[in-house]
Amino acid sequence: MHVFYADHFILPLPAGHRFPMAKYGRLRERLAVECPQVRLGQALPASDGELALVHAPAYIQAVQAGTLSAAAQREIGFPWSPAMAERARRSVGATIQACRAAMSGEGLAANIAGGTHHSYADKGSGFCVFNDAAVAARLMQAEHARQQRARGPLKVAIVDLDVHQGNGTARIFAGDESVFTLSLHGEKNFPFRKEPSDLDVELPDGTADVAYLEALERALDELERRFEPGLVIYLAGADPHEGDRLGRLKLTFDGLEARDRRVMDWAWQRRLPLAFAMAGGYGTDMEVTVQVQMNTYRVALQYHARWTAATRGGERAAVTAA
Ligand SMILES: [Zn+2]
């Protein structure tokens, strides 16, 4: 399974900054050691043209040139630096590459970071500079239109299970029937002004495994009734975990693993390619966040193996038939 990373671009953050930047490197390290089936690849930077499928050219330029206002940098939550701009591009690139890999018959692939869903077309927010899932969705639609126009437009479901609402993504795709935005999130959590997604599920503080999984089941049912995707982009946030500093929910390791399995199984049953990004995770103990994410990869590898077996089986059947 292909997994793309850009964590070697280190953001210079002030001492005591609350963003756990080290979690990405730690996750990559553990994947390399514990999951030999994972093929780690360095993410390429998204181009201006790719970013402009979603983002305003003036905003792209301000991020590149370092001319974001102090207020804009505060809203993003990271001070501008050349590494910040480069990393933001590569994080989008990682989701693009994961989508391409998933759609080229692999079935599943991942971005080791990404899930930057608070980013709007013309501004960043909440540790999000560019919106990786939104740019990747638009680019996959463009590539699909070029290669397979006869099959109709590619429809993309963005399943956002980070504990925070996917406000930027919701706004970017508002009124767009080709992308379905689903967000399950804490009702009392950031962002405090939420944007309407195609389907929002608000969860009270303290929501635990059973209630969460029931809500997810209902949400997937409704998604299926209203939309027929050709690609799923999954934001597998680790921040609904009970050990998270910012999450306010009470999911256990088992509950989150069941969540990941449900989403990946849902996609597999429908043979929908799925690209996933890690989104948020702010464990009081960083290792807890990384463990939640490792569990996501373990589940993903099981479904990736099914895709591989099905593809091989399909090839064999085709050869026999010929
Ligand atoms: Zn989050």
Instruction: List, for residues 28-39, the tens digit of each pLDDT value.
Output: 999 999 999 999
Q: Report the alpha-carbon distance of residue 221 to residue 218 in Å, rounded.
A: 5
Residue 317 pLDDT grade (very low, low, confident, very high; cuts 50, 70, 90) = low
- Any idea which residues carry the catalytic annotation? 118
Instruction: List, for residues 261-288, the tens digit of each pLDDT value.
Output: 999 999 999 999 999 999 999 999 999 9
Strand 199-203 relative to strand 231-235: parallel, antiparallel, unpaired? Answer: unpaired
Between the CA of 68 and the centroid of ligand 1 the distance, in Å, is 23
Q: Output 97 or 20, whichever has higher pLDDT.
A: 97
pLDDT at 91: 97
In the numeric block, the tokens 């929910």 are attached to: 249
Closest by Cα among 237, 254, 131, 133 to 189 = 237
With a cut of 90, say whether residue 314 has pLDDT above it: no
Between the CA of 164 and the centroid of ligand 1 the distance, in Å, is 4
With a cut of 90, say whether residue 179 has pLDDT above it: yes
Q: Report the alpha-carbon distance of residue 259 to residue 217 in Å, rounded.
A: 9
Between the CA of 228 and the centroid of ligand 1 the distance, in Å, is 26
Between the CA of 116 and the centroid of ligand 1 the distance, in Å, is 9
How would you label 264-294 residue by residue, b for 16+ Cβ within 10 Å and e otherwise? bebbbeeebbbbbbbbbbbbeeeebbbbbbb
Between the CA of 315 and the centroid of ligand 1 the distance, in Å, is 40
Contact of 108 with 102, CB cutoff 8 Å: yes
Between the CA of 144 and the centroid of ligand 1 the distance, in Å, is 30
pLDDT at 318: 54
pLDDT at 8: 79
Between the CA of 117 and the centroid of ligand 1 the distance, in Å, is 9
